[in-house]
Amino acid sequence: PAQFAVFGHPIAHSLSPQIHQAFAQQFGIALEYRTIDAAPAAFADAVRRFFDDEDGRGANVTLPHKAAAFALAGERTQAAARVGTANVLTRLADGRIAAHNTDGAGMVRDLTDRHGIDLRGHDALMLGAGGAARGVAWSLLDAGVATLTIVNRSPEPADALADAIGEPSRVHTRYWEDLDNIGSYDLIVNATSAGTLGQSLTLPFSLAASRALCYDLGYGKSAIGFLAWAQAAGARYAYDGLGMLVETAADAFELWHGKRPDTEPVYRSLRARSV
Ligand code: ATR
């Protein structure tokens, strides 16, 4: 069967193999999809081995390799180029590797298609300005948010991201120390890695407008703290990123197999088993 893999470090608990196998079953496609744990120094070689020697057709890439995945590709989609990272690698017919980034589109589709949210006109607040934040920022603007305010613990990455986007009339930065005084937002995205690191954020309730939608790009344990804050703040919706994970996988699956899987049953079965 065709060979697929997800690269990460660590990677043992990745849900990607079971998501891709579930999609493949919908079409009766046989494939092998495994996890490959590669330390950063070994990543590029491991990718080359997978595609050149092991007949790999496609790979997902997760932390901490998304920037390295983008760098080693011979061809890049526009969605990957603007973000500067890749979560999907595909072997082209001529043997070169193409980089894609489906994170932002996956997040927006989770919000719009699964949760029925129209993002147009929202004033959005992005907490964090690292890789995860970059991955979704452009897509939120594409989806029609009116303004995007980026707040990061250290100001430089927030300014760098705003500069990279280059839409000064819609994209602003504020200081983390001023979170108490920057008003309220319709959409609050937690793109920090605090939850993953086992740290908690101290956020004022004043950030959440009465109709606010709060979204954590992570899922499982890492999202619990932020979603509890959202509920206590009276947010109307509080979602984790499990749906985003399934949607980004569906985009990768379609790139590789030319078929659009039904994400809903896969999402529901993962949700039933998650915290
Ligand atoms: P990822 O790929 O998960 O985005 P990253 O690129 O290392 O990881 O970015 C981590 C983000 O979480 C950064 O915006 C970081 O803020 P700094 O740039 O100031 O380091 C943010 N972050 C991590 N822990 C945090 C905490 N305890 N409080 C606030 N922000 C935090």
CA distances from 128 to 89, 138, 193 (A): 26, 14, 8
Structure tokens at 62: 């997760």
pLDDT on residue 275: 60
Query: For the segment 106-115, what is each residue's pLDDT rounded down to a tens digit?
Result: 999 999 999 9
- pLDDT for 81 beyond 70: yes
**Tokens 């049953």 map to which residue?**
265
Average pLDDT over residues 147-155: 98
Query: For the segment 169-222, what is each residue's pLDDT rounded down to a tens digit?
Result: 999 999 999 999 999 999 999 999 999 999 999 999 999 998 999 999 999 999
Catalytic residue at 66? Answer: yes
Tell me which residues have their CB closer than 6 angstroms to ligand 1. Answer: 63, 128-133, 152-154, 157, 192-194, 197, 199, 201
Q: Which residues contact 69 (CB under 8 A, 6 or more apart)?
A: 7, 43, 47, 61, 85, 86, 87, 89, 99
Residues belonging to the binding site are 14-16, 62, 87, 103, 128-132, 217, 219, 241
Structure tokens at 211: 């109709």
- pLDDT for 15 beyond 80: yes
Distance, in Å, from the CA atom of 132 to the CA atom of 117, rounded to the nearest integer, reads: 21
Q: Which domains does the chain have, with CATH numbers?
A: 2-101+245-273 (3.40.50.10860), 104-240 (3.40.50.720)
